[in-house]
Amino acid sequence: MKRLLAVALAALALPASVSAATQITVFAAASLTNVFLRIDGSERYSFEGSDQLALQLREGAPADVYAAASPRYPQLLYRDGLVRKPVVFATNKLIILVPRSNPAKIKSVYDLRRSGVKVVVGDSTVPIGLYTRQILDTLGITADVAKNVVSQETDVKGIVSKIALGEADAGFVYRTDAKPVAAETRTIALPAWAQPPIRYELAVVEATRHPVAAATFVRKVLSRRGRLLLAKAGFGLPKRP
């Protein structure tokens, strides 16, 4: 973290024109789409499932910064020397998203066990899918809900889209995903005691050709303005390093 911040602070000594002229590529979890565009709308972004982005990095896809919805993938990439030391920059919570009309009359997570309820979850390889399975295991209702799963999506945007369009009765998403579709959906809280810890990490890609600009982007996310925008979007904030 000290190394990352040192590089970011060094960027401040450069003329503004140098930093502004360098556009970087940011690989980021789908749930970060809206907030990252607000923090810095001038960069190139690829928003997908954290696992897919990690795989692309392993295959040599050009990127400068990687941000994931779970520590798992950044830490594995760091272990293998593909990114610099990751930093935790946000937290989140799981909720249940239902269509605004709530045709299945879902009132709690336990209603998802009823016969005929159509549930959408994330694929088991992506963070939202892993977190969903973790909370269902904690609640002891994995098997009962699994029989009602009609779709497993490769990123959280797919879950949100199906619920907003009324193609399913309920889906597990991050709390932050509900705001953009508030007019088309309702949210149902999950038991706080069963919530898994959800931590977002980002890191500069080791192979970046723009290390100063990449570190500057990380600094923007960690800055007071970045943290305010994250909080406004519904993310939790870890303690400052």
- Give the whole-angstrom CA distance, residue 212 versus residue 83: 14
Q: Are residues 228 and 110 in the same domain?
A: no
pLDDT of the residue at 239: 81
CB-side exposure of 47: number of CA atoms within 13 Å?
12
Total domains in the chain come to 2
pTM, rounded to two decimals: 0.86
123 belongs to a structural domain: yes
pLDDT confidence of residue 12: 46
Residue 237, in any domain of the structure:
no
- 239 lies in some domain: no
Residues 105, 66 share a domain: no
The answer to whether residues 63 and 112 belong to one domain is: no
Q: Is residue 156 part of a domain?
A: yes
- What is the dihedral sign for C-alpha 27, 28, 30, 36? negative
Q: Which residues of the chain have pLDDT under 50?
A: 1-2, 4-19
Query: Is 106 in the same domain as 167?
Result: yes
Please report whether residue 238 resides in a domain: no
Q: Decide if 74 contacts 83 (C-beta within 8 A).
A: yes
Give the model's pLDDT for residue 162.
96
Sign of the CA dihedral running 127, 128, 132, 133: negative
**One domain, residues 212 and 135:** no
The pLDDT tens digits of the residues spanning 209-240 come to 999 999 999 999 999 999 999 999 999 999 87
Pairing mode of beta strands 87-92, 198-204:
antiparallel
pLDDT of amino acid 107: 97
Instruction: Look at residue 10 and tell me if it is in a domain.
Output: yes
Share of the chain above pLDDT 70, in %: 91
CA 98 to chain centre: 20
Residues 46 and 119 in one domain: no
Burial of 13: CB neighbours in 10 Å, binned 0-12, 13-18, 19+ = exposed
Same domain, 20 and 77: yes
Which CATH number covers residue 122?
Answer: 3.40.190.10
The tokens of 87 are what? 């930093």
Q: What is the end-to-end Cα distance of the chain in Å, rounded?
A: 8
Same domain membership, residue 72 and residue 159? no
pLDDT tens digits, 122-133? 999 999 999 999
Instruction: Give CA angle at 228 (73, 129), nearest 5°.
Output: 30
DSSP the chain: -HHHHHHHHHHTTS-HHHHHH---EEEEEGGGHHHHHHH-TTSEEEEE-HHHHHHHHHTT---SEEEESSSHHHHHHHHTTSBPPPEEEEEE-EEEEEETT-TT---SGGGGGSTT--EEEE-TTSHHHHHHHHHHHHHT-HHHHHTTEEEEESSHHHHHHHHHTTSSSEEEEEGGGSGGGTTTEEEEEPPGGGPPPEEEEEEEBTT-S-HHHHHHHHHHHHSHHHHHHHHHTT-B-PPP-
Residues 100 and 49 both lie in one domain? no
The answer to whether residues 82 and 24 belong to one domain is yes
Inside any domain, residue 240? no
Structural domain includes residue 175: yes
Residues 105, 26, single domain; the answer is: no
The reply to whether 209 and 190 lie within a common domain is no
What is the domain range of residue 144? 94-194
